[in-house]
Amino acid sequence: MLGVQDFIGYYDWTFEYLRRKYGEKALSAYWEEAIAFDSQHHAYELVKNKGFEGMAEYWGHTLNAEEAGYTINKTRDFFRIDMFDCPSVRFLVRRGPSPGSESAKGPSKDLLIKHSQGYYHDYCEHCMGWVKPIMTRTGFMVDHEHNHQGQCWWEMHRAGAGSRRKSEPPLRGPQDVRKLKAWRRGEHHLYLSSLRVTEMD
């Protein structure tokens, strides 16, 4: 039986294999087809049938099982996750870059690699790669930011007239990961209303 660390390493290797062999578009298709609507089909069903409650049910169980450091905030207007310690990225950071990988090229920042730490150059991106298609199909939009250091936030809200965001949502209380001193480290990828906005160093 695969342990979680074996799984993370294999997942990461698979992303890089698909990218190298077939290209980034094929990898994005894999995230959508094989992860969002196949391996995580149960997540799609929960969100489709229960909305925010289904999100809380899915991520509450999954993040507890993965022993992630996180908080969940659910209101009538949004469902939010603040991730303080992603176990997958923690493992990849500790393992360091794999020889010959894109991540192994160039200097590190604060002893951590700029983009993820394994075979595929941007491991964090796969989460948006499978979550966004589920949210789009079920009538939700995603605001999201990750720093490639094991910290991120997600805020899902209903799609519809006037729902498109032009700026980050306000701070959401003491548990907001953006309040951490370490939050500004790393390279940030920001999405608003399910669209990639910018990259910030």
Cα(13)–Cα(11) distance, rounded to whole angstroms? 5
Q: Which tokens in the block code for residue 150?
A: 């094991």
Cα(62)–Cα(60) distance, rounded to whole angstroms? 6
Q: For position 96, what pLDDT does the model report?
A: 72
Q: Which tokens in the block code for residue 186?
A: 């790393």
Q: Which residue has the tokens 């948006």?
A: 128
Q: For position 105, what pLDDT does the model report?
A: 46
Q: For position 56, what pLDDT does the model report?
A: 98
Q: For position 201, what pLDDT does the model report?
A: 40
Q: For position 93, what pLDDT does the model report?
A: 80
Q: For position 100, what pLDDT does the model report?
A: 53
Q: For position 164, what pLDDT does the model report?
A: 83
Q: Where are the domains of the chain?
A: 4-158+172-200
- pLDDT digit string (tens) for 89-127? 888 888 776 555 554 443 334 334 444 445 888 999 999
Q: For position 118, what pLDDT does the model report?
A: 58
pTM above 0.95, yes or no: no
Q: Which CATH architecture has domain 4-158+172-200?
A: 2-Layer Sandwich (3.30)
CA-wise closest residue to 63 among 38, 32, 92, 87: 87
φ/ψ region of 193 (left if φ > 0, alpha if ψ in -120 to 50, else beta) reads left
Q: Which tokens in the block code for residue 39?
A: 């391996």
Which positions of the chain have pLDDT values less than 50? Answer: 1, 103-117, 199-201
Q: For position 102, what pLDDT does the model report?
A: 55
| Residues near 177 by beta carbon (within 8 Å), at least 6 away in sequence | 82, 83, 84, 151, 152, 153, 183
Q: For position 37, what pLDDT does the model report?
A: 98
**Burial letters 99-119, b for 16+ CB under 10 A, else e:** eebbbbeeeeeeebbbbbbbb
Q: For position 98, what pLDDT does the model report?
A: 58
For residues 92 and 196, the answer to whether their CB atoms sit within 8 Å is no
Q: For position 110, what pLDDT does the model report?
A: 39
Q: For position 3, what pLDDT does the model report?
A: 60
